[in-house]
A and B are shown apart, each in its own frame.
Chain A
Amino acid sequence: MSATDSLQAVLRAEHAAIFGYGALGGHLKASRRALAAEAERGHRDRRDQVAELLIAAKADPAPPERAYGLPAPVSSAVGAVKLAVLIEERTAAAWRAAVPQLTGAQRSVAIAGLTACAVQAARWRGLAAPGAPSTVAFPGL
């Protein structure tokens, strides 16, 4: 996979993440909406950052799909938190997969993207299962 292809894959993952937060937002408890808003803002910022990297590399940034299939329909607060965990794990995986394909400053962007998604995944896991370990040894793997 080329650097451009891996950035396009990250961009598609960020598009899907933004869609996912839109789908789950209304099901969250009010106390968790601020975290969702912060996480979604992070995905929008990184989407824009990746699109700019692609434009700088003279590639056309992949557009978002009109809709994305969800792993399960979201109908409850519990389901919404589970989906948020999954969204962050999937975007973390896309960023991790891009790391070896990128070099220099672009690789640093990928490390930061992976880290941001890993932090949000841990926060959501902590809400999904309070008291259980919320971290993983190898985020994005």
Chain B
Amino acid sequence: MVPPTLSRRAVLTAATAAGIAAATSACDRLAGSGAAAVPPAQPDPLEPLLAAELGLVAGYEAAIARFPGLAGKLGPIRDEHRKHAQAIRATLDPRRQTAAPGDAKPAAAAGASAEAATAALAAEERAAAGRAAQACVTAGPERAALLASISASEAVHAVVLG
């Protein structure tokens, strides 16, 4: 029997950004302090989506590096995620942006075979499509169409990767 080797698989590191809530707690009023309370900066709901897009780009890069024969199929999809990231970034307030390409960790583990790597990416695409659709439903009208297109694009990727 081969011992299990999956224990250290990267697990959706991109999603951790979503879990970072701005937990700035208001200080108790200091006696004698006349300073107005500064409202805590609300995280932009698209920050985790940007991180997830960069994670997907990294996931495709990792899969292509490991299985170069997949480059023709995966390269164009990776490029579409770069365009998603670019478009999301353009809607964010530049003073608050945190995610950068260097921060990205692959969303999906590369997999033991080309088929496994492709299947893992397809699963990531389905999850990403769901997150983008969820963000779309609660987004303002100025962002909703972009998020709908990103969700649809990712659903298509999942189908194409089959």
Q: Name A's B-contacting residues (CB within 8 A).
A: 92, 95-97, 99-101, 104, 107-108, 110-111, 114-115, 118-119, 122-123, 126, 133-141
In the complex, the answer to whether A139 meets B145 with C-beta atoms within 8 Å is no
Separation of A134 and B136 alpha carbons in the complex (Å) = 24
Of chain B, the residue at the smallest CB distance from A126 is B160
Chain B residues near A101 (CB-CB < 8 A): 141
A119 B153 Cβ-Cβ under 8 A: no
A139 in contact with B149 (CB, 8 Å): yes
Number of A-B contacts (CB under 8 A): 83
Q: Which 9 A-B pairs have the closest CB atoms?
A: A100-B141, A133-B76, A137-B80, A137-B83, A138-B149, A118-B152, A115-B152, A139-B152, A99-B148
**What are 29 A-to-B residue pairs whose CB atoms are below 8 Å?**
A96-B148, A96-B149, A96-B152, A97-B145, A99-B144, A99-B145, A100-B145, A107-B144, A108-B133, A108-B137, A111-B148, A114-B148, A114-B152, A115-B152, A118-B152, A118-B155, A122-B156, A126-B160, A134-B160, A135-B77, A135-B80, A135-B160, A137-B149, A138-B83, A138-B87, A138-B150, A138-B153, A140-B149, A141-B149
Are B151 and A115 interface neighbours, CB within 8 A?
yes
B136 contacts A107, CB within 8 Å? yes
B93 within 8 A of A: no
Chain B residue total in the interface (Cβ 8 A) = 27
B 131-162 to A, binary, CB cutoff 8 A, 1 in contact else 0: 00100110001101110111111011101100
Give the docked Cα–Cα distance between A108 and B137 (Å): 7
* Shortest distance from the beta carbon of A85 to any chain B beta carbon, whole Å: 13
Minimum CB–CB distance for B50 against chain A, Å: 15
Whole-angstrom distance from the CB of A66 to the nearest CB of chain B? 31
The residues of B with any CB-CB pair to A shorter than 8 Å are 76-77, 79-80, 83-84, 87, 129, 133, 136-137, 141-142, 144-146, 148-153, 155-157, 159-160
A63 to B127, CA, bound (A): 38
**Residues of A with C-beta under 8 A to B142:** 100
- Chain A residues contacting B76 (CB-CB under 8 Å) are 133, 135
Given A108-B137, A134-B160, A137-B83, also A114-B149 (CB < 8 A): yes
- Write out the residue numbers on chain A whose beta carbons fall within 8 Å of the beta carbon of B156: 115, 118-119, 122, 135, 139
Q: Pick the most buried of A92, A107, A126, A140: most chain B CB atoms within 10 A of its CB.
A: A107
